[in-house]
Amino acid sequence: MKKTMKLFYKKIVIVSLFILCFAVFSPSANALTVSPVRFEVSADAGEEIIDSIILYNDTDVTQNLYTSYANFEARGESGTPAFLEEKTDLATWIRTNPNIVIQPGESKIVPFTIKIPSEAEPGGYFATIFFGTVPPEGSGSQLSIGAKTGVLVLLRVNGEIDEEGGILEFATVNNQTFFTALPVSFTYRFQNSGSDRVKPDGFVNIENIFGGGAAKLMANPVDGNVLPESIRRFEVVWNDDGNSVEPLSEKASFFEKVGFEWKNFAFGKYTATLNLSFGATGGEMDPMSFKFWVFPWHLIIFLIIAGIIVFLILKTTIKKYNRWIVSQAEKSLARLEAEKSLSEKGK
């Protein structure tokens, strides 16, 4: 009886923990959807830009939202924005409704304006419009803390803008030169030395040892920008069918590796060439190349062993068949000789 009660209480605890985790980590518990998530706009100094954002309350409670603004710059080489506390430039040029109330399941169009000062210098300006549940502080430059959803605004003030940039590095991830199967991941680092954002555009062309085209990949699959005076790392993946492939576990068995190499087959020496252009004028840069090998040795060993086994089976089968043919021929010859002998005796 005590064992049964212990088991019953244990089940109650497990179920309770499951329900609690679901309630805490459920994606609909605090979901505010914004569209679009990024604005890329350009205008002259002194002009005003008018646009709108769509907010959708995907929760079952009323959302009381407060608007705030922050400039941002690049953080590291991943393209992740770092928000700045100082209130200057674009963060002070944007205006929208400071307080928005959205009912459960309701969507709302929120207009905003960007008033560019006439004295604004040509170049790139970058800020975020935040919608949060905590009101911004009335004084000081500190950003409010709380659940916030942001929309990126990338503004180009027209004029004489310096556009400089280049590829610093192109290779496979970790400079790996030997693979047993696809996918093969490439990475390149792009440096923007200009005064506005740039969006690298181009392809990674992969050729086999005979010069034939094996693949043509988009060089900027995430459609990412590189902010001024920063470096961004981009990754390009070569898959046979273009779909993402789950990496094989290090503990995978030999036959699992054989199956993976068969499914994601490639063989031989390849050359990947990165061709990029960037900027408003679409200036092209000198291409960069990287050579690598794909050699599915698990699959090859399996095929060799399988081929040897098939050969031995065929060889044994053919030998047995030949013996059977010879034995049948000998039997037929013996039968003919016996019949001939009987015929001669009858005479």
Residue 8: what pLDDT?
38
How, if at all, do strands 148-157 and 38-43 pair?
parallel
Q: Quick check: 316 pLDDT over 80? A: yes
pLDDT in tens, 195-216: 999 999 999 999 999 999 999 9
Task: Specify if 1 maps to a domain.
Answer: no
Query: Could you tell me the CATH number of the domain that includes residue 177?
Result: 2.60.40.2550
List the one residue out of 103, 7, 16, 96 whose CA is nearest residue 56.
103
Confidence of residue 25 (pLDDT cuts 50, 70, 90): very low
Residue 347: what pLDDT?
60
Q: Quick check: 70 pLDDT over 80? A: yes
Task: Specify if 3 maps to a domain.
Answer: no
CA distance readout (Å), 126 to 41, 138, 154, 307, 347: 10, 23, 5, 62, 119
Distance CA 345, CA 347 (A): 5
**132 and 194, same domain (yes or no):** no
Confidence of residue 246 (pLDDT cuts 50, 70, 90): confident
Task: Specify if 13 maps to a domain.
Answer: no
Average pLDDT value for residue range 86-98:
95
Distance CA 40, CA 42 (A): 7
Name the strand (E) or helix (H) holding 63. Answer: strand 63-75
Residue 21: what pLDDT?
35
Confidence of residue 143 (pLDDT cuts 50, 70, 90): very low
Among candidate residues 157, 184, 216, the one where a domain is terminated? 157
Task: Specify if 339 maps to a domain.
Answer: no
Residue 146: what pLDDT?
61
**146 and 193, same domain (yes or no):** no
**42 and 89, same domain (yes or no):** yes
**137 and 258, same domain (yes or no):** no
How many domains does one find in the chain?
Answer: 2
**51 and 81, same domain (yes or no):** yes
Any residues with CB less than 8 A from the CB of 186 and at least 6 apart, and which? Answer: 170, 171, 172, 173, 204, 217, 235, 236, 237, 238, 272, 274, 290
Distance CA 31, CA 296 (A): 45
Residue 135: what pLDDT?
85
Q: Quick check: 14 pLDDT over 60? A: no
Residue 331: what pLDDT?
84
Q: Terminus-to-terminus CA distance in the chain, angstroms? A: 104
- Name the average pLDDT for the chain: 87
Place of tokens 């030395």: 193
pLDDT in tens, 321-341: 999 998 888 888 888 877 777
- Confirm if 182 and 265 have CB atoms less than 8 A apart: yes
**174 and 267, same domain (yes or no):** yes
**107 and 180, same domain (yes or no):** no
Domain containing 200 equals 165-300
Residue 296: what pLDDT?
97
Among candidate residues 141, 157, 173, the one where a domain is terminated? 157
List the one residue out of 200, 64, 230 whose CA is nearest residue 134.
64
